[in-house]
Structure 1
Amino acid sequence: MVRPKEFDERVALTAAMQVFWEKGYEATSIGDLTERMQIARPSLYATFGGKKELFETALRAYVELSLTYVENKLRSMPSVKASFLAYFQGVIEGSGGSNPDFGCLCVNTMVELAPHEPVFAQITEEFEARLTELFRKSIEGGIQSGELPDQLNPSSIARVLTLTAIGLTVTMKMKPSPSRVEHVAAEILTLLE
């Protein structure tokens, strides 16, 4: 007879995601994971596979959470510009439950693993494409409403905003002085003029 699981997989996965986010993939040990997930090694392996499989599952879950957060942030304001300002200011301040010291788990993975791990390159490329699509739709909505100028190329601007968000996320991990980033969000919005 199979023993029932004595832990909530979602809670354990969220705990694993947090450890990977705080420490990075390479610096995270199985002991770190089992301690935070409050499960035994055999349970980790039986439920999630090895460390790499667990990380892939955690990263995919993070992608969905992150993109849902961005989509909600972009829809939260009556103005497209205000929505983008709130989003980029959030990257700087670490809003939405994130910590700018940890950065974005997807961006961290782009730097740490994607260059030599095809599965993680694919996941992070998909994240980047989906983020760009959210930005593009928001820009198109701004053009249709008359808030943004007709001559903007939504696809090009969305791609630039995505790369800017990635770069800003990396910059915030370096803990820049507040004076270095205090006007960055507003400066980014000049791309929408």
Structure 2
Amino acid sequence: MVRPKEFDERIALAAAMQVFWEKGYEAASLSDLTQRMNIQRPSLYATFGGKRELFEAALKAYVQSSLTYIENQLRSDPSVKKSMLAYFQGVIHGAGGSNPDFGCLCVNTMVELAPHDPVFADITGDFQARLTELFQRTIDHGIQSGELPKQLNASSIARVLTLSAIGLSVTMKTKPDPARVEHAAAEILTLLE
């Protein structure tokens, strides 16, 4: 007879995601993970596979929740400029209770694993493409509403905003002098003028 699981997979996965976010893939040990997930190693293996499979599941969950959060944030204000400013300020100061010192788990993975692992390159590439789509839809909405100039190339600007968000996230992990990034969000959004 198979024993029923004595833990909630979603809660355990969220705990693992937090460990990976704080430490990165390589530095997160199985002991760190099982302790935070409040499970034993056999349960981790039986439920998620190994560390790599657990990380892949955690990253995919992070990507989905992050994109949903960003989409909601970009729709939170009727003003495209205000919602974009709030998004970029969230990257600088931490959004949704996140710690900007941890950066974005997906961006961290772009740096740590994607250059030499095609699975993680695909996941992070998909994240970038979907973020660009969110930015483009938001810019298109601003053009249609008359808030943004009609001559803007929404597709090009969306790609640059994605690269800016990624670069800003990496920069925030270095704990820069606040004066260096204080006006970054407003400066990035001059692209919308």
Instruction: Normalising by structure 2, report the TM-score.
Output: 0.99
For residues 178 and 115 of structure 2, the distance between their equivalents in structure 1, rounded to whole angstroms, comes to 31
Moved over 2 A (4+): none
Report the equivalent of 2:156: 156
* Structure 1: gaps (5+ residues): none
Q: Provide Cα deviations, 1:105-152, integer angstroms capped at 9, x if missing partner.
A: 000000000001110000000000000000000000000000000110
Matched, 1:84 2:84: yes
For residues 95 and 124 of structure 2, the distance between their equivalents in structure 1, rounded to whole angstroms, comes to 21
- The alignment partner of 1:91 has SS state of helix
Q: By how many angstroms is 1:78 displaced?
A: 1.4
Q: By how many angstroms is 1:95 displaced?
A: 1.8
Instruction: Normalising by structure 1, report the TM-score.
Output: 0.99
Q: By how many angstroms is 1:97 displaced?
A: 2.0
- The alignment's C-alpha RMSD in Å is 0.4
For residues 16 and 163 of structure 2, the distance between their equivalents in structure 1, rounded to whole angstroms, comes to 27
Report the equivalent of 2:60: 60
Report the equivalent of 1:119: 119
Report the equivalent of 1:101: 101
* Structure 2: gaps (5+ residues): none
For residues 158 and 97 of structure 1, the distance between their equivalents in structure 2, rounded to whole angstroms, comes to 25
Report the equivalent of 2:169: 169
Query: Would you say how many aligned residue pairs link Structure 1 and Structure 2?
Result: 193
User: Kindly, what percent of the aligned residue pairs are identical?
Assistant: 80
Report the equivalent of 1:184: 184
For residues 141 and 59 of structure 2, the distance between their equivalents in structure 1, rounded to whole angstroms, comes to 30
